[in-house]
């Protein structure tokens, strides 16, 4: 198996021990926010880009604080990756949502919110498919179209952890996806509670996420994945196996519906598997900055990604993507 052997697994575990000796100053800020601390009107993220972002190797990153925890870069390269990811997952699912709202989407009274909309790909596609409905996208960064957009679409800058700028019971359907590397474990409950707050009684809240968890993985993959998960949990309060938490928090509001899809990782899975491998490599290497901060060197991280993807190809590895949705109680 080439580089995939007991020595490389030992390297991964040894690296973890080494990491624990590093100073934790670079990630000393952890979220202590509770739902009672969220203000829907008085606290807002500053529109000043210099206050919001920092630059590392000519790439733009959010400045870490209690209300901004996103660890991916915020630039054209990452936008391209997320757009490609969107279209791949739409292919896997067959459509952009799982909630039973197809008929309602034909109505001109239907209001839909996408939280963490990024460049607006999901919103713009949905608005084209359902021209009678009204769509709103929010994101902390203004990556979405500011001027050229359909008449049934609006965008605004907002941070769900601070509070969405909408009254209670505003939207019929609320969508949020791929926020795994945007929230700490404590943030998830705050965010979900805020989504439910602005959802109308009888409306739907839907989340799409995936865990960093591989099936048919080999020993190196398991060791490397464990190191990554434990270090992110310890130093950034992030949980990379998040779906049990989503089910738990959503169940506090209503009955949880769940669906999942298997996605092959590697050329063994045909065109889909090859594309997913490329996206996985792209996304993993865009995490380089945060992985260096928790103890990997750049070369170590790049090598770890390459070995894991090689082993997943050899063992016909795959992962799962999940959709969870609830109908907000009407009483």
The Cα–Cα gap between 240 and 221 comes to 15
The larger pLDDT score, comparing residue 203 to residue 293, is at 203
| Mean pLDDT (whole number) for 297-313 | 93
pLDDT band at 36 (very low <50, low <70, confident <90, very high): very low
Asked if pLDDT for residue 240 goes beyond 90, the answer is yes
- The whole-number pLDDT of residue 143 equals 86
| Mean pLDDT (whole number) for 272-295 | 90
Q: Does the domain made of 55-328 have the CATH classification 3.40.50.150? A: yes
- The whole-number pLDDT of residue 49 equals 57
Average pLDDT value for the chain: 84
Domain boundaries, the chain: 55-328
DSSP strand pairing (318-327 vs 257-264): antiparallel
Measured CA to CA in angstroms, residue 276 lies from 87, 218, 267, 279, 307 at distances of 11, 18, 9, 5, 16
Closest by Cα among 290, 303, 308 to 56: 290
Taking only the tens place, the pLDDT of each residue in 119-160 is 999 999 999 999 999 999 999 888 898 888 999 999 999 999
pLDDT band at 312 (very low <50, low <70, confident <90, very high): very high
Q: What is the phi/psi pair of residue 34, to 5°?
A: -115, 165
The full DSSP string for 215-260 is BS--HHHHHHHHHHHHHHHHHH---S--HHHHHHHHHTTSPPEEEE
- The whole-number pLDDT of residue 12 equals 43
Query: In the chain, what's the furthest Cα-to-Cα distance?
Result: 61
Asked if pLDDT for residue 17 goes beyond 70, the answer is no
Asked if pLDDT for residue 25 goes beyond 50, the answer is no
pLDDT band at 56 (very low <50, low <70, confident <90, very high): confident
Asked if pLDDT for residue 21 goes beyond 60, the answer is no
- Output the pTM of the full model: 0.84
Three-state SS at 125: helix
């Amino acid at each position: 198996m080439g580089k995939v052997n007991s020595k490389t697994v030992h390297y991964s575990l040894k690296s973890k021990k080494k990491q624990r000796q590093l100073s934790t100053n670079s990630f000393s800020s952890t979220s202590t926010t509770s739902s009672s601390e969220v203000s829907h009107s008085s606290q807002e993220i500053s529109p000043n880009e210099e206050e919001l972002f920092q630059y590392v190797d000519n790439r733009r990153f959010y400045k870490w604080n209690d209300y901004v925890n996103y660890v991916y870069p915020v630039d054209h390269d990452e936008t391209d990756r997320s757009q490609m990811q969107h279209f791949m997952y739409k292919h896997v699912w067959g459509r952009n949502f799982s909630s039973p709202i197809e008929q309602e989407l034909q109505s001109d009274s239907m209001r839909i919110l996408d939280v963490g909309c990024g460049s607006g790909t999901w919103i713009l596609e949905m608005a084209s498919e359902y021209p009678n409905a009204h769509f709103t996208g929010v994101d902390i960064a203004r990556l979405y179209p500011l001027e050229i957009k359909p008449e049934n679409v609006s965008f605004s800058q907002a941070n769900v952890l601070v509070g969405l700028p909408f009254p209670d019971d505003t939207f019929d359907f609320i969508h949020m996806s791929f926020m795994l590397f945007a929230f700490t474990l404590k943030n998830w409950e705050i965010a979900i509670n805020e989504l439910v707050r602005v959802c109308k009684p009888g409306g739907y809240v839907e989340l799409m996420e995936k865990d960093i968890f591989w099936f048919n993985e080999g020993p190196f993959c398991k060791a490397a994945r464990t190191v990554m998960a434990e270090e992110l949990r310890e130093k950034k309060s992030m949980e990379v196996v998040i779906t049990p938490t989503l089910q738990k928090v959503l169940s506090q509001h209503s009955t949880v519906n769940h669906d999942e899809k298997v996605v092959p990782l590697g050329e063994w899975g045909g065109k889909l598997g090859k594309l997913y491998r490329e996206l996985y490599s792209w996304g993993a290497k865009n995490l380089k900055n945060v992985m260096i901060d928790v103890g990997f060197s750049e070369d170590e991280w790049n090598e770890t990604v390459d070995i894991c993807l090689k082993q997943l190809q050899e063992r016909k590895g795959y992962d799962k993507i999940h959709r969870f949705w609830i109908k907000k109680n009407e009483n």
